[in-house]
């Protein structure tokens, strides 16, 4: 049995005494408030938890159960003037309410999800889990949107260390790299406090990986999944390498050895020398193979051990490994239209995505009385090779198109932290510190495209050399962090108070390099025209690079690489004041000094240096009025910022053939300053139950948006980043979680069922500079880019130790502004879709095994993007298709077995 003792402020209660009633056995909680007992399975116990200054709590029906975490969080209330009071509670109620208690007593307005609910969802990554949290949704199954605000306005932490952007083209962290099996809980802070970064406006996502165990365990599991679009269907790709299944390229796609290291060196060669170097490119990578797509396979292994050392010191260790392999197939319809609505492209992609995901986690903790030191590391490798064949018609050129492409992404994420908690003897002060290192890499080796065109009336397809390319890129992002904070308790107004102060530093280095090639005729006068009609797997054969054939054209731009350094040094001071029994005021200020340096070159090869230094003073106030023990009224006001990412200010321009548009940075971007106001009323009717209703307002100065470049044309669109002038967002939220036993008292079926749901409603207005109005701001009654007008989450959960566990989940977002258009081309919106998931699980083999059956995306609604021609935002008959596909329904069956291990 493992436990943690906290107070009504969610602070650990070190030194709390835990006694097993009727025995002499007792333990003391460590500096983190944690304790453990070795108890006999099958028996029920009562724990007595006490500490000076708090009411004693009697925890009944404590029983060790096979296959369960056997964790409990005990909340002690401050002792009143009435004297000693013994509060009685059941272990079931105490465990169920732990996360809600954290939300109720958090310094900031927040929402969260705990490991027990995560286990009952079909979600396999943190990105998928996040869409279950109130006010949150997910783009592309990995980028979080909180309160309708896109990823740029959200910050991410893992185990108290801030995460960098994981993407080269946007300010975002890709949450699909953290497997759901590794999560202990997720909290989204929606208001700011001085102790945490001020660089967010929507939400600050705090992911805690599984903590150190206080008992030994080992479990293995596997899952097989069937996707209605993919499994056992014909799956087409280039030939796989021998190590693709491990998530690593075996060198087949690496940049050829012996090729000139720089574009300038290659361009200085003679034509014959360039032909010789062009023959170094591998020519055996274009061949296709077709196989039957295998079921989605997932395997996981977890191990943990705990040892008691001398002087009541404890050493804990936990390790977890997850492996997943999937072959996903779906068809995407795309259409580009002119401003008058006449179609330019009508295309269909047959996409074949081969995915491998490997994740590992290691946590080690040493705890001794008033000190605790932990080393936590997580690693994930995500490997995706998307081979797609695109067919369609280009109206403007009157041509049939046959386009083939292999897009390989290799992403690595590594994060490691060393952290400590210490109870100091001086004035009962607490000191918490952490230092960490994170590495994010993204490698795109040998991204290949080939395009054939056939004129109307002809039966001959000819290779289009301009759109037949090979691309290599490499991104490395290193982040080093350090932070420390002191908490000094004192007494004022006969109430316990806290003063917290500290500082942190975050230093990032990003290096991005790329090379891009297309093919051209080595000699127009002597070119063999028959080569242009060769099939895709023969046209770029090594022998075809000759004086009467092809030669590689290195058209890497001067801006196709950049190097950036940034640093945020910050300090804060925060008071956590109890003004009386009902009023709690958390207030203070955070000061951040931001430095950002980026170097690249412009189109003329002129060195471009961007150097930014800004000071930001970020005050915040969080006021909680506790009407009684079950009702809270919260108010918050705070100032935050959103700063440009390296990619957003880099002049690098890249054409995304999969999305069919280009992306460019903007060196002139400014940071966004945001004023935030929040009001929320909370009701906690019973343990594990909650009802909240709230409203919020945000004013943005210089918000950054991803919008269509005015110089774009219908068949070659370019999107770039630009500051709007101002924006306002207004929103309301409702959240409910309720046990259904109120429908029929004493009904065992209903007492095991819980209904939950949340709804968020938003609207915005945006002002932006427009050249046609001489720089004057033009108001637009539309959302901020990435925002939806509403979000809905709902579900019902049934839990029974004797029978089974069942969860039904529903998710929907309103029409989301995906891409901002211009005066000629409309905005692109994502149409609402209904997402319905179901899962049922049952314990077997004396509760050491678990069977789990999952149905994901049962309704299989299309993911549909459309041009909002009428400007209504809602999808209407006059709106035009931009892209659409159905991801398919996935049915999975899994088995997990927990081994019995002896405890030390």
Strand, coil or helix: what is 95? Answer: helix
pLDDT > 80? residue 67 = no
On the CB side of 429, how many CA atoms lie within 13 Å of its CA?
A: 13
Mean pLDDT along residues 188-216: 82
What is residue 565's predicted lDDT score, i.e. its pLDDT?
95
Name the residue with tokens 């408030």: 33
Cα 752 to the chain's mean position, in Å?
Answer: 32
What is residue 90's predicted lDDT score, i.e. its pLDDT?
45
pLDDT > 50? residue 588 = yes
Read off the tokens for 390. Answer: 């695109």
Encode pLDDT of 735-744 as tens digits. 998 989 888 8
Least confident of 86-100, 302-316, 457-471, 875-889: 86-100
- Strand pairing category for 607-628 and 631-642: antiparallel
Average pLDDT of the chain is 85
On the CB side of 271, how many CA atoms lie within 13 Å of its CA?
A: 13
In contact, 570 and 503? CB cutoff 8 Å: yes
Q: What is the DSSP string of 521-587?
A: ES-TTT--GGGGGS-TTTTT-GGG-STTSEEEEE---TTS-EEEEEEEEEEEEEEEEE-SSSEEEEE
Nearest in space to 244 (alpha carbons), one of 418, 441, 387, 431 = 387
Mean pLDDT along residues 15-25: 82
Longest dimension (CA), the chain: 101
What band does 901 get if pLDDT is binned at 50, 70 and 90?
Answer: confident
CA 701 – CA 783 distance, rounded (Å): 15
Encode pLDDT of 299-341 as tens digits. 989 888 888 888 778 888 989 888 999 999 999 999 988 877 7
What's this model's pTM, rounded to 2 decimal places?
0.84
In contact, 36 and 27? CB cutoff 8 Å: yes
What is residue 772's predicted lDDT score, i.e. its pLDDT?
47
What is residue 774's predicted lDDT score, i.e. its pLDDT?
44
Name the residue with tokens 């992609």: 349
- Nearest-10 Cα torsion for 459, 465, 466, 469: 120
What is residue 771's predicted lDDT score, i.e. its pLDDT?
47
pLDDT > 80? residue 243 = yes
Mean pLDDT along residues 645-669: 84
What band does 427 get if pLDDT is binned at 50, 70 and 90?
Answer: confident
What band does 754 get if pLDDT is binned at 50, 70 and 90?
Answer: confident
Name the residue with tokens 């903790």: 365
CA 722 – CA 670 distance, rounded (Å): 9
Read off the tokens for 513. Answer: 């390099």
pLDDT > 90? residue 551 = yes
Beta carbons within 8 Å of 76's beta carbon, 6+ residues apart: 5, 6, 7, 8, 13, 16, 49, 50, 51, 54, 55, 57
Stronger pLDDT, 303 or 152, i.e. the higher one: 303
Encode pLDDT of 354-401 as tens digits. 999 898 889 898 988 888 899 988 888 989 999 999 999 988 888 999
What band does 82 get if pLDDT is binned at 50, 70 and 90?
Answer: very low
Torsion sign (Cα): 384, 390, 394, 399: positive
Encode pLDDT of 601-656 as tens digits. 876 778 889 999 999 999 999 999 989 878 999 999 999 999 988 888 888 888 78
Mean pLDDT along residues 44-54: 82
What is residue 587's predicted lDDT score, i.e. its pLDDT?
96
What is residue 169's predicted lDDT score, i.e. its pLDDT?
62
pLDDT > 80? residue 698 = yes
What is residue 860's predicted lDDT score, i.e. its pLDDT?
95
Mean pLDDT along residues 63-73: 64
Cα 186 to the chain's mean position, in Å?
Answer: 11
What is residue 66's predicted lDDT score, i.e. its pLDDT?
55
Main-chain phi, psi angles of 427, to 5 degrees: 55, 30
pLDDT > 50? residue 546 = yes
Cα 303 to the chain's mean position, in Å?
Answer: 26
Mean pLDDT along residues 46-55: 82
CA 57 – CA 79 distance, rounded (Å): 11
Nearest in space to 319 (alpha carbons), one of 246, 375, 366, 381 = 375
What is residue 367's predicted lDDT score, i.e. its pLDDT?
86
Least confident of 162-171, 213-222, 265-274, 752-761: 162-171
What is residue 93's predicted lDDT score, i.e. its pLDDT?
42
pLDDT > 80? residue 904 = no
Mean pLDDT along residues 505-528: 93
- DSSP run (H or E) holding 98: helix 98-105
């Amino acid at each position: 049995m493992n436990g943690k003792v906290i107070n009504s402020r969610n602070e650990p209660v070190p030194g709390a005494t835990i006694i097993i009633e009727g025995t002499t056995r007792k333990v003391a909680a460590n500096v983190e408030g944690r304790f453990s007992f070795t108890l006999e399975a099958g028996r029920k116990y009562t724990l007595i938890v006490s500490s000076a200054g708090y009411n004693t709590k009697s925890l009944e029906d404590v029983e060790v159960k096979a296959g369960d975490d056997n964790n409990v969080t005990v909340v002690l209330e401050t002792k009143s003037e009435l004297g000693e009071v013994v509060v009685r509670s059941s272990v079931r109620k105490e465990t169920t309410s732990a996360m809600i208690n954290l939300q109720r007593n958090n310094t900031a307005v927040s929402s969260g999800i705990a490991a027990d609910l995560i286990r009952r969802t079909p979600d396999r990554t943190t990105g998928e889990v996040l869409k279950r949290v109130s006010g949150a949704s997910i783009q592309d199954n990995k980028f979080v949107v909180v309160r309708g605000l896109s990823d740029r306005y959200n910050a991410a932490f893992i185990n108290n260390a801030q995460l960098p952007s994981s993407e080269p083209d946007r300010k975002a962290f890709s949450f699909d790299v953290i497997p759901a099996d590794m999560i202990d809980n997720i909290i989204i802070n929606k208001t700011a406090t001085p102790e945490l970064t001020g660089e967010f406006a929507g939400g600050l996502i705090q992911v805690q990986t599984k903590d150190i165990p206080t008992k030994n365990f080992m479990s293995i599991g596997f899952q097989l999944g069937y996707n209605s679009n993919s499994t056992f269907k014909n799956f087409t790709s280039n030939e796989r390498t021998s190590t693709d299944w491990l998530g690593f390229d075996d060198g087949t796609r690496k940049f050829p050895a012996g090729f000139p290291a720089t574009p300038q060196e290659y361009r200085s060669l003679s034509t014959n020398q360039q032909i010789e170097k062009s023959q170094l490119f591998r020519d055996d990578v274009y061949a296709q193979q077709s196989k039957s797509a295998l079921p989605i396979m997932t395997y996981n292994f977890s191990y943990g051990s705990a040892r008691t050392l001398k002087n009541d010191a404890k050493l804990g260790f936990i390790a977890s490994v997850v492996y997943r392999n999937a072959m996903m197939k779906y068809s995407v319809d795309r259409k580009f239209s002119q401003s008058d609505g006449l179609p330019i492209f009508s295309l269909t992609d047959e996409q074949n995505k081969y995915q491998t995901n490997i994740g590992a986690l290691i946590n080690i903790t040493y705890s001794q009385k008033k000190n605790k030191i932990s080393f936590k590391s997580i690693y994930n490798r995500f490997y995706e090779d998307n081979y797609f064949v695109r067919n369609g018609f280009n109206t403007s050129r009157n041509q049939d198109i046959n386009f083939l492409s292999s897009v390989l992404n290799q992403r690595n994420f590594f994060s490691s932290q060393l952290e400590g908690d210490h109870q100091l003897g001086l004035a009962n002060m607490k000191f918490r510190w952490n230092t960490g290192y994170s590495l994010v890499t993204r490698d795109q080796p040998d991204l290949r495209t080939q395009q054939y065109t056939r004129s109307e009336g002809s039966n001959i397809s000819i290779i289009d050399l301009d759109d037949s390319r090979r691309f290599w890129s490499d991104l490395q992002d290193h982040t080093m962090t350090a932070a420390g904070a002191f908490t000094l308790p004192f007494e004022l107004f006969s109430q316990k108070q806290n003063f917290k102060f500290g500082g942190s530093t975050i230093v990032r280095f990003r290096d991005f390099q790329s090379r891009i090639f297309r093919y051209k005729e080595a000699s127009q006068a002597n070119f063999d025209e028959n080569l242009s009609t060769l099939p895709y797997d023969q046209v770029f054969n090594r022998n075809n690079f000759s004086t009467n054939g092809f030669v590689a054209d290195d058209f890497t731009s001067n801006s196709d690489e950049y190097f950036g350094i940034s640093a945020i040094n910050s300090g804060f001071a925060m008071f956590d004041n109890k003004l009386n029994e009902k009023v709690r005021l958390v207030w203070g200020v955070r000061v951040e000094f931001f430095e950002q340096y980026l170097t690249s070159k412009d189109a003329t090869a002129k060195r471009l240096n961007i150097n930014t230094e800004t000071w930001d003073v970020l005050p915040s106030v969080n006021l909680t009025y506790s009407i009684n023990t079950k009702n809270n009224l919260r108010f918050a006001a705070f100032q935050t910022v959103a700063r440009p990412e390296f990619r957003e200010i880099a002049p690098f321009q890249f054409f995304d053939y999969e999305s069919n548009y280009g992306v460019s940075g903007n060196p002139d971007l400014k940071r966004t300053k945001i004023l935030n106001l929040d009001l929320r009323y909370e009701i906690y009717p019973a343990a594990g139950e909650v009802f909240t209703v709230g409203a919020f307002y945000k004013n943005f100065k210089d918000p950054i948006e991803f919008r269509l470049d005015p110089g774009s044309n219908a068949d070659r669109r370019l999107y770039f980043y630009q500051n709007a002038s101002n924006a306002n967002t207004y929103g309301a939220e409702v959240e409910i979680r309720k046990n259904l036993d109120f429908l029929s008292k004493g009904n065992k079926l209903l007492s095991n069922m819980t209904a939950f749901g949340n709804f968020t409603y938003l609207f915005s207005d945006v002002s932006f500079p427009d050249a046609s109005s001489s720089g004057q701001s033009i108001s637009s009654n539309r959302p901020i880019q990435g925002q939806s007008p509403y979000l809905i989450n709902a579900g019902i959960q049934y839990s029974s130790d004797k029978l089974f566990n069942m969860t039904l989940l529903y998710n929907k977002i309103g029409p989301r502004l995906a891409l901002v258009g211009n005066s000629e081309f409309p905005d692109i919106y994502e149409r609402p879709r209904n997402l319905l998931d179901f899962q049922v699980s049952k314990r077997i083999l004396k509760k050491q095994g678990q069977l789990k059956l999952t149905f994901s995306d049962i309704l299989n609604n299309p993911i549909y993007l459309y041009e909002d021609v009428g400007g209504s935002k809602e999808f209407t008959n006059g709106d035009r298709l931009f892209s659409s596909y159905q991801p398919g329904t996935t049915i999975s069956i899994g088995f997990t077995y927990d081994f019995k291990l002896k405890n030390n």
